[in-house]
Amino acid sequence: MLRKRLSAIMAALLLLSSAGCVQQKDDEVKTVGLAMPSKALERWNRDGEYLKQVFESEGYNVELKYSDNNIDQQINDLQVLIADDVDVLIVAAVDGATLFRTLEDAKIKNIPVIAYDRLILNTDTVDCYISFDNFKVGELQAQFILDSLSPDTSDRPLNIELVSGDTADNNARFFYNGFMSVMEPYLESGRFVIPSNKITFEQTATPQWSTVKAYENMQNTLASYYAGGTPLDAVHCASDCLTVGVTQAIASDYTGKTPVVTGQDGDIAALRDIVEGQQSMTIYKNVRDEANVTVEVAKAILEEEDIDEELIEEFEVPCAFDTDSYDNGVKKVPSYLLTPNVITLENLDLLTEIGPYEWDEDHRYLVEK
């Protein structure tokens, strides 16, 4: 409230001081540059379109770019946005470690940068990070597997395989670490075993979060370690885009009881698989909340307000302000972290309230609203 009142006073002062002068750039409609990783993955399509909508409804111009999951393309997109003199850059990085040089140009032009969902590394040219609690996502996935399979009372050690994300995405390691923080004691005690022996983040990573690669890797794992009838009890998939490939491989190449398989994002195909019993859960991260928080933070930055805990009052959604967890190699980036939701067959309906979904005519599958 106080913040709002102060900005109103400052706006009034600004108006008085500029009365009679040529209109300042500050009074013009501001332009937001949005750089999203790829149109091919459902989640980024949704983020891009929704961010565009909310910024436009708040009176901003928007330049939106999708980079085809290609690092050079994203660098090029950013160069264009910077050359166009956007007022703020919002970037979901294809590869968080490759943008620091390009962002130097943003710094020279005083264009603030918000890292959206994925952290940007090795640069001080990032004002703020907005995401979900990525470590928590991994913890929730692991806890779901434990709750579903009760390893402590099982009459045999349980078999699990891990399918992690792209090493170029800082989030992927957080998902893995969160998962391991819960699962490691069970791997150490032998209650869970990984027959393929692929256990480190690097060993289990999937380049570019590719569905096809996840499918092929799972096929190979099944052929090499499960062909003789070894049961596969669980697969930790970091994201739905991987899960969809993994469940296809399981459906075609594995004849045992369907394993517990995790996911993240609430992709339509994954929600369908949850209804069909091929996928066990997903983590839904409310993209609308993430976009709304981003708008508030961008406004605050453009109005030169402080980026701090107090800003959370403006968000109206549960959110933590974290100044410690996201060290990008040059600085600890102040972060606003939203809370993820666990979605299973039992609470699918919740998505019609909190997400852009509705039931199809037969009330069987969720579809995009």
Measure Cα distances from 31 to 42, 62, 95, 121, 316 in Å. 25, 6, 24, 24, 25
Q: Using CB under 6 A, which of the segments 100-108, 163-171, 196-204, 349-357 binds ligand BGC?
A: 163-171
Q: Is 254 in the site for ligand BGC (CB under 6 A)?
A: no
- How many chain residues interact with ligand BGC (CB under 6 A)? 13
Residue number of the CB atom closest to ligand BGC: 239
Q: Is 264 in the site for ligand BGC (CB under 6 A)?
A: yes
DSSP H or E segment with residue 274: helix 268-276
Residues 36 to 65 in contact with ligand BGC, rule: CB under 6 A: 41, 43
Classify the C-alpha dihedral 340-57-85-315 as positive or negative. Answer: negative
Contact yes or no for 334/128 (Cβ under 8 A)? yes
Q: Is 294 in the site for ligand BGC (CB under 6 A)?
A: no
Near ligand BGC by CB under 6 A: residue from 140, 241, 307, 351 = 241
Q: How far is the CB of 319 from ligand BGC (least distance, A)?
A: 16
Q: Is 171 in the site for ligand BGC (CB under 6 A)?
A: yes
Stretch 109-128: interaction string toward ligand BGC, x if CB under 6 A = --------xx----------
Name the DSSP class of 260: E
Q: Is 299 in the site for ligand BGC (CB under 6 A)?
A: no
Q: Is 206 in the site for ligand BGC (CB under 6 A)?
A: no
Q: 142-147 — which CB contacts under 8 Å span 24+ positions?
A: 142/178, 142/179, 142/180, 142/181, 142/182, 142/183, 142/236, 143/182, 144/260, 144/262, 144/280, 144/281, 144/342, 144/344, 145/183, 145/234, 145/236, 145/260, 145/262, 146/182, 146/183, 146/186
Q: How far is the CB of 102 from ligand BGC (least distance, A)?
A: 19
235 by DSSP, 3-state: which? strand
Q: How far is the CB of 293 from ligand BGC (least distance, A)?
A: 14
Q: 343 is written with which tokens?
A: 């979605």
**What residues line the site for ligand BGC (CB under 6 A)?**
41, 43, 117-118, 165, 169, 171, 209, 239, 241, 264-265, 285
